[in-house]
Amino acid sequence: MQRSLKPLLRWLGLGWCLTAFPSLAAPLITITAPVDGTILSAPATFDIRASVAGGGNNVTQVEFLNGTNSLGIDPNNPYRITVNNLAGGTYVLWAILTDNLGGQSSNSVTLIVNELPTDPHIADQPVDHTG
């Protein structure tokens, strides 16, 4: 696995292998939608989309998370998952890539979902149309 291979190569004095054989590095993943800081209204339904670049290894899966809760896994490019009816709050969404050597990379964005006003008195107020 990549996480144990890098320290071993460095300990053996073979750290140069990490640059000579870039395939030891996992590809990088980037969440492309929603962008960091997006603000939506509840209940929010949207796709999380991610793109992959670099590394010489094959991507075996991308897992999407809301905080530490898995939203699902997509093994196929384009990597995406749909989130349905997200309530109001601030969320950190993650995409975690795993490659065929067990290496991982991750990326996150913060999303804000605003609750719509629920004041029952708003509907009872008279509307002045006299201008």
Alpha-carbon separation of residue 93 from 36, 58, 69, 100, 114 (angstroms): 9, 23, 9, 23, 16
Q: Reply yes or no on whether the pLDDT at 43 is more than 50.
A: yes
> What per-residue confidence (pLDDT) applies to 119?
66
Question: What average pLDDT does the segment 54-75 reach?
Answer: 93
φ/ψ (deg, to 5) at 36: -60, 130
> What per-residue confidence (pLDDT) applies to 9?
47
End-to-end CA distance of the chain: 71
The confidence band for 74, taking pLDDT boundaries of 50, 70 and 90, is very high
Class level of CATH domain 26-116: mainly beta
The confidence band for 80, taking pLDDT boundaries of 50, 70 and 90, is very high
The 10s digit of each residue's pLDDT in 95-114 is 999 999 889 999 999 999 99
> What per-residue confidence (pLDDT) applies to 131?
58
Q: Reply yes or no on whether the pLDDT at 81 is more than 50.
A: yes
Three-class HEC string of 15-51 = CCHHHHCHHHCCCEEEEEECCCCEEEECCEEEEEEEE
8 SS3 class = helix
